[in-house]
Chain A
């Protein structure tokens, strides 16, 4: 696995853990399956909105979010094509026709694939922490997106994305915890 080869090089580095290092770490992962639990905190609602389901991605451009609870819903992105399934209905859209959706999809897809160019197109990225426990802060470049999305915080360990928090400008936010469901055994040592 690519990860095994990448690991010694990462250990050899004495420089601080930066964006290229994170990109190199993330781009070793070509596909992944995970479970997620999401909570959205929306002003005016009496309680947070909880949902859960699975995430799946495979490089270079496929990303699927399947919500199982409380209602089944699928959002599949492949390249520029988006397919939405809700309430028994299927809709297709062009991703780049909706810039807000593009920005959010690229934040997660770009992180999962280590595509820093895609991230830089939409955000000012900032990296904190170490390979074992990193934090990626994304602030929208475009003023237009900035009026909707204040910041994204992505956290992970090694090549695994574990946590996504989206802060909207109105104060609403969503917090997603991710648990890899098909973790291959060799990824463990990277964190050590």
Chain B
């Protein structure tokens, strides 16, 4: 094989390429791959939303598993629920498992009872006067003689004032799942439900995965013993989504890569009928993928699985470079002046500038994404930019060394070229109709504008609608809504946060008593601030004072003071107890409950979360009312989680729209600078604008609401489409659109490049990962339209044919 560039230079190029690839592989093997959901959460939320995002990423929400047991009979489901809960508690993989049995309080009950005088909000000096004692004992007695009284009767002599009951009151939620046969069940029937908090941190997907496996194997174990088969396990929650989407991304990315490579290889084989040509054509793709992944690894310290999924989209564009080279780099016979040119020299002189410009426009588009607030999109921007540069450089420097005269095989190239030529001849007749169609599409889109964009963060989610529906149904059964209202208070240290939570709690109590709020949860019920605990313990009287007050309070009552010696002893013991601290709780049964409501912030401060339970029928104007009630508490925020997340998404959508617009503007400016002619610029931009308009109109007609990912797809359409339009520009102004063999070759290369793009994105459109299929569904039709429109609007050389008549549209 004759070498193209000089022997030394060739060797140097190949060596440099091999070295670069080795370096990339070196980086890649050191890069951790993630597939958690964080890529779909903004990296830079505003301070208001920061705590919320931290919570979603690593808080209790990220570790909570919702479990349903369907089928069978109510008794068999209840039995399975109890045994599953026992098995999960024993597995050690979960820090808490709730299924309604004992309300999960039996483990913490002893601890609460021991510390009742520090924890009960009723403890105050007045409570231990004769009057206060009579009142408190009377209230406790009023529960006796009922089933509820059975629970407190054994505690009566140690706790006649009912402090344990008072603490429990605050801990029993206003909304709880229905209990039947002693376990939580769905209100509409047919399902037992459980809630399990995974011990492994939210980011530890292997740990989350092990916990999911523990649930599955425990359940399988039950079915094996159970006489009554037919029970099925349903699971949902962030751990499942994270683990499943990782698995799905892993398998789909593999499948897409294999299918894409096979499809591409088949096409290239048809086109070139040459194995070397085929292998060489795949080389820029391989280079691009390796460079792209390595660049993301270096830039972000990790590569998200979904980025690899997008990587298969890169095949579609990177293989174009190889196709352009292999078809267009044909050796030129000696011209009248100057020596004969090798194919690669000819290609570098005629086509490379256009390919380079196409590369620059693509980069301009993708660079905008690199600044996105969504890590997933930023990674995609970096990946595409680096990958395309890598692929283009490999085409420019390595391909001339390997195949200096392009691909020699003829294959179907001629056929493709002829078909493309005929199309190019015919399409311009449709210009007027196409422009009219463009106007119709634009008008339709203006009318449709309010419904064009999805305003829901879930549109970015990699989770399927079916899984989201199951999640919603389990959440309703468990009354574990994610979309409620949350009050957040922050403090410089634990005590400041706890005191703020107490201040908020006092004001919320007023709303609860007024019936405006059903209830709320607060860490201060488990762990009051040290100041509050000290004040409570200080209000406990000495033995003599208490005995005197008791004698007075119980005179003539149904409960004799003599029986209450254990109470006096308990109060005396409490007086010398130290307040409970967060360190005392570490490792205890109450720890997970406290950790769910009290967070250490990355900035060193602490935040207390108070989830609110709305009163029935009081949803209207809820937020404003609560914000008004909490006015003046320092560092307090009221967040409506669902609207807040949607606002967050709206902000990022606006940001992405601006970035995409800037990217598109950069593309146009680049082309303007290169073409230096308004007429040529217009000719190049016309098909692009039309392609975008028609693609969006098609999606709208199909009932698709556009998300950020569709926007990314449109950017890809502009990036790929600009290459087509520029080639047509080159053909016209390089005076090649003349029916020559070279024109036929260029058209064949465009058609082939387009075919590979449409097919590879068509493949992605079939993906089960919504993020990938969204992009595929935009780019596959968009790229096809871009090529056809570029052909339709290609300016013809003066007098070159009948289409010339419609020039100047």
Residues of B within 8 A of A51 (CB): 142
CB pair B145 A73 closer than 8 Å: no
CB pair B559 A93 closer than 8 Å: no
Q: Which of B174-182, B372-380, B384-392, B463-471 contacts A (4 or more CB under 8 A)?
A: B174-182
B512 contacts chain A at the CB level, 8 A cutoff: yes
CB closest chain-A residue, reference B518: A92
CB pair B148 A100 closer than 8 Å: yes
User: Given that A90-B512, A93-B172 are contacting pairs, would A149 and B147 also be in contact in the complex, using a CB cutoff of 8 Å?
Assistant: yes
CB pair A86 B139 closer than 8 Å: yes
Residues of B within 8 A of A100 (CB): 147-148
Point out the residue from B138, B139, B177, B518 that lies within 8 Å of A97, measured CB to CB: B177
Bound form: Cα–Cα A180–B615 in Å: 32
CB pair A172 B145 closer than 8 Å: yes
B440 contacts chain A at the CB level, 8 A cutoff: no
Q: Distance (Å) between the CB of B688 and the closest chain A CB?
A: 58
Residues of B within 8 A of A173 (CB): 145
CB closest chain-A residue, reference B479: A94
CB pair A148 B147 closer than 8 Å: yes
Question: How many pairs of A and B residues are in contact by the CB < 8 Å rule?
Answer: 107
CB pair B179 A168 closer than 8 Å: no
Residues of B within 8 A of A92 (CB): 174, 512, 518-519, 613, 615
A54 contacts chain B at the CB level, 8 A cutoff: no
A98 contacts chain B at the CB level, 8 A cutoff: yes
CB pair A49 B176 closer than 8 Å: no
CB pair A97 B150 closer than 8 Å: no
A188 contacts chain B at the CB level, 8 A cutoff: no
B141 contacts chain A at the CB level, 8 A cutoff: yes
CB closest chain-B residue, reference A88: B513
B169 contacts chain A at the CB level, 8 A cutoff: yes
8 Å CB interface, B145-200 against A:
145-150, 153, 156, 169, 172, 174-182, 187
A19 contacts chain B at the CB level, 8 A cutoff: no
CB closest chain-A residue, reference B136: A87
Residues of B within 8 A of A89 (CB): 169, 509, 513
Bound form: Cα–Cα A51–B146 in Å: 13
Point out the residue from B174, B177, B518, B558 that lies within 8 Å of A49, measured CB to CB: B558
CB closest chain-A residue, reference B178: A96
CB pair B150 A168 closer than 8 Å: yes
User: Given that A90-B512, A142-B181 are contacting pairs, would A172 and B559 also be in contact in the complex, using a CB cutoff of 8 Å?
Assistant: no
Residues of B within 8 A of A67 (CB): 142
Bound form: Cα–Cα A9–B153 in Å: 49
Bound form: Cα–Cα A40–B149 in Å: 11
CB pair A42 B145 closer than 8 Å: yes
Q: Distance (Å) between the CB of A83 and the closest chain B CB?
A: 8
Bound form: Cα–Cα A152–B315 in Å: 76
User: Given that A86-B139, A90-B513 are contacting pairs, would A97 and B147 also be in contact in the complex, using a CB cutoff of 8 Å?
Assistant: no
Interface string of A23-62 (1 = CB under 8 A from B): 0000000000000000011101111110100000000000
Point out the residue from A45, A104, A142, A168 that lies within 8 Å of B558, measured CB to CB: A45
Bound form: Cα–Cα A46–B562 in Å: 12
User: Given that A93-B176, A99-B179 are contacting pairs, would A49 and B150 also be in contact in the complex, using a CB cutoff of 8 Å?
Assistant: no
User: Given that A94-B176, A97-B179 are contacting pairs, would A46 and B560 also be in contact in the complex, using a CB cutoff of 8 Å?
Assistant: yes
Interface string of A153-176 (1 = CB under 8 A from B): 000000000000010101011100
Bound form: Cα–Cα A148–B148 in Å: 9
B515 contacts chain A at the CB level, 8 A cutoff: yes
8 Å CB interface, B462-486 against A:
479
Bound form: Cα–Cα A47–B178 in Å: 37
Q: Distance (Å) between the CB of B169 and the closest chain A CB?
A: 6
CB pair B139 A45 closer than 8 Å: no
Residues of B within 8 A of A144 (CB): 181-182
B339 contacts chain A at the CB level, 8 A cutoff: no
Residues of B within 8 A of A94 (CB): 174-178, 479
CB pair A174 B146 closer than 8 Å: yes
CB closest chain-B residue, reference A169: B150
Residues of A within 8 A of B177 (CB): 94, 97
8 Å CB interface, A84-116 against B:
86-94, 96-101, 104
CB pair B145 A174 closer than 8 Å: yes
A183 contacts chain B at the CB level, 8 A cutoff: no
CB closest chain-B residue, reference A41: B145
Residues of A within 8 A of B509 (CB): 89
User: Given that A45-B558, A70-B138, A81-B616 are contacting pairs, would A168 and B145 also be in contact in the complex, using a CB cutoff of 8 Å?
Assistant: yes
Bound form: Cα–Cα A87–B169 in Å: 12
CB pair A101 B181 closer than 8 Å: no
A126 contacts chain B at the CB level, 8 A cutoff: no
Residues of A within 8 A of B169 (CB): 89, 91
Point out the residue from B147, B513, B558 that lies within 8 Å of A46, measured CB to CB: B558
Residue of A42, A71, A92, A173 contacting most chain B CB atoms (<10 Å) = A92
Q: Distance (Å) between the CB of A165 and the closest chain B CB?
A: 11
CB closest chain-A residue, reference B514: A90
Q: Distance (Å) between the CB of A88 and the closest chain B CB?
A: 7
B633 contacts chain A at the CB level, 8 A cutoff: no
CB pair B142 A49 closer than 8 Å: yes
Residue of B148, B156, B178 contacting most chain A CB atoms (<10 Å) = B178
Residues of A within 8 A of B139 (CB): 71, 86-87
CB pair B176 A104 closer than 8 Å: no
Q: Distance (Å) between the CB of A84 and the closest chain B CB?
A: 9
User: Given that A71-B142, A92-B174 are contacting pairs, would A42 and B149 also be in contact in the complex, using a CB cutoff of 8 Å?
Assistant: yes
Jot down 10 A-B pairs with beta carbons below 8 A, ordered by A. A40-B146, A42-B144, A44-B153, A83-B515, A93-B174, A93-B176, A94-B175, A94-B178, A166-B146, A168-B150
On B, residues with C-beta under 8 Å from A are 135, 138-139, 141-142, 144-150, 153, 156, 169, 172, 174-182, 187, 479, 509, 512-515, 518-519, 557-560, 613, 615-616
Besides the known contacts A46-B558, A148-B147, 20 further A-B residue pairs in the complex with CB atoms under 8 A apart: A40-B144, A40-B145, A41-B145, A42-B144, A47-B558, A49-B144, A49-B558, A67-B142, A70-B142, A71-B135, A87-B139, A89-B513, A90-B515, A91-B174, A94-B174, A97-B177, A149-B147, A168-B147, A174-B145, A174-B146
| Closest CB pairs A-B (n = 5) | A40-B145, A97-B176, A100-B147, A45-B558, A96-B178
